[in-house]
A and B are shown apart, each in its own frame.
Chain A
Amino acid sequence: MTTLLERLGGEAAVDQAVERFYRKVLRDERINQFFDDVDMDRQIAKQKGFLTMVFGGPNHYTGRDLREGHRHLVGRGLDDSHVDAVIELLGESLRELGVEDDAIMEVAAIAETVRDDVLNR
């Protein structure tokens, strides 16, 4: 059975998608204000590792870090509309790299499972 990671094109493809995704994020007026003070170098490196792990199959990730990491942003107004924008831009990035629609929907479904952690509710 192939993992989602393999269907996305493997680790190198995820790395490419993450950079493409953050270029969109930083240009997107709906959400780029949340990244003003973020060290993008570190953010991108961590996101590559995180998504590779999540798409690679079962893992022991608990979501605690996602809660911690976004708590101050919820205080600054982070809500469902911003999560929607993030999922949309991630999908666009994968589509531009030639990923099939069903794999993108699977990615979006995984993202939905952490929505409540991200929004601390």
Chain B
Amino acid sequence: MASIRFGDRLVTLRDDLSVLEALLDAGLEIPNDCRAGVCQSCLMQATAGPVPEDAQAGLRDTLRSQGYFLACRCHPRHDLEVRLPAARPMRVTAVVSGHEYLAQDILRLRLSTGAEFRYRPGQYLTLWRDERQGRCYSLASVPGRDPHLELHIRRIPGGVVSNWAHDQLRTGDRLQIQGPAGECFYVPGNPGRCLLLVGTGTGLAPLCGILRDALHHGHWGEIQLFHGAAGPSGLYLVQELRDMARRCANLHYSPCVLDLQGSPCDDVEVGAVGELALSTVPEPRDWKVYLCGAPRLVNNLRKQAFLAGTGMDDIYADAFVPSQGLKKTA
């Protein structure tokens, strides 16, 4: 009989009970409602042991790949170690290992951690200035390729964390990070699918992570990357991405600005980045679409891609909501 470890409790599965029923019978409090795999209230995460495929039916591939499952539909044959998704990861200490500018107001912050920090490129972490003030930033680095965690931090007028990171943090400083979180990342397994990546501002950070992760996994399907900014000064990593596109035949990179603002720019498209992306990929039916950055762009493009035929499960979106407490900042 399989047994389920939940925190410090060990529960043995009897009589074909589901994981949910067994945990509830043991007196544990697990959120649940329909008990039929519909409401997803009993979503849990396996941290060790094989999750039965049936228990993951209807979940996105990003959730499946992280071991999430529905406890009411889970009848495991082997031992599992599980937790509730609400269990917040611990804060860990990181050391600033790089502090340099990618554009006038965009800082590339590199961090190293003593213990391994497990994440998927494109997920985000919380950067803590002190006990109470933290903000979320997306990860542009790729584990196994980059020795550091990399964040792109735009200076926000009046922003308590971004201005601190820009003006006070220095190489060698220690700080606390927490995470990762987020469902916008590359899931290996479909190396031939076409990928459409669209972002504004520092939405380029997660897209860089996703792009490099895909290439790292040998992705050979077409990849279209669109990065939008108000003007040329908002674009960054342009030369690096052009070089990468020259090296990778399947990668196409289009920097876009709303307005050239008087500067002569070669090879920069002018217009709304979402419209430019959809005019290049007018039929995204079989594409996987990644959208990061300004909420208006992300939400609008998500709807448009869906209406144009992209499956909802093939759309990965991360809207950078301006901070009110702990939400993401662009």
Interface residues, chain A, with chain B CB atoms under 8 Å away: 11, 19, 22-23, 26-27, 40-41, 44-46, 48-50, 52-53, 59-61, 65
Contacts and interface: CB of A to CB of B under 8 A. Distances in A.
Contacts of B315: 41
Contacts of B40: 45-46, 49
Contact of B58 (A22, A48, A61): A48
Given A40-B312, A44-B312, A48-B58, A59 B306 contact: no
24 contacts: A19-B312, A23-B307, A26-B303, A26-B306, A40-B312, A41-B317, A44-B312, A45-B40, A45-B59, A45-B60, A45-B312, A45-B313, A46-B38, A46-B40, A49-B39, A49-B40, A52-B38, A53-B34, A53-B36, A59-B36, A60-B36, A61-B34, A65-B34, A65-B39
Contacts of B306: 19, 22-23, 26, 40
A23 B40 CA distance: 23
Interface of B: 33-40, 57-60, 302-303, 306-307, 309, 311-313, 315, 317
Given A23-B307, A49-B40, 20 more contacts: A11-B57, A19-B306, A22-B306, A23-B306, A26-B307, A41-B302, A41-B315, A41-B317, A44-B312, A45-B59, A45-B312, A45-B313, A46-B39, A49-B39, A49-B58, A53-B37, A53-B38, A59-B36, A60-B36, A61-B36
A40 B307 CA distance: 12
Contacts, number: 52
Contacts of B303: 26, 40
A23 B34 CA distance: 27
B78 to A, nearest CB: 25
Contacts of B36: 49, 53, 59-61
A59 B38 CA distance: 12
A87 to B, nearest CB: 20
A2 B176 CA distance: 58
Nearest to B312: A44
Nearest to A41: B312
Contact of A19 (B34, B302, B311): B311
A95 B36 CA distance: 27
Contacts of A22: 306, 312
B307 A49 contact: no
Contacts of A50: 38
Contacts of B302: 40-41
B307 A27 contact: yes
A93 to B, nearest CB: 14
A60 B303 CA distance: 33
A46 B36 CA distance: 11
A65 B306 CA distance: 26
A50 B37 CA distance: 8
Contacts of B39: 46, 49, 65
A8 to B, nearest CB: 17
B196 to A, nearest CB: 17
Contacts of A53: 34, 36-38
Contacts of B38: 46, 49-50, 52-53
By CB atoms of chain A within 10 A, which of B35, B36, B39 has the most?
B36
B299 to A, nearest CB: 10
Contacts of B35: 60
A41 B312 CA distance: 6
A65 B59 CA distance: 21
A108 B207 CA distance: 43
B327 to A, nearest CB: 15
A94 to B, nearest CB: 18
Nearest to A62: B34
Contacts of A27: 307
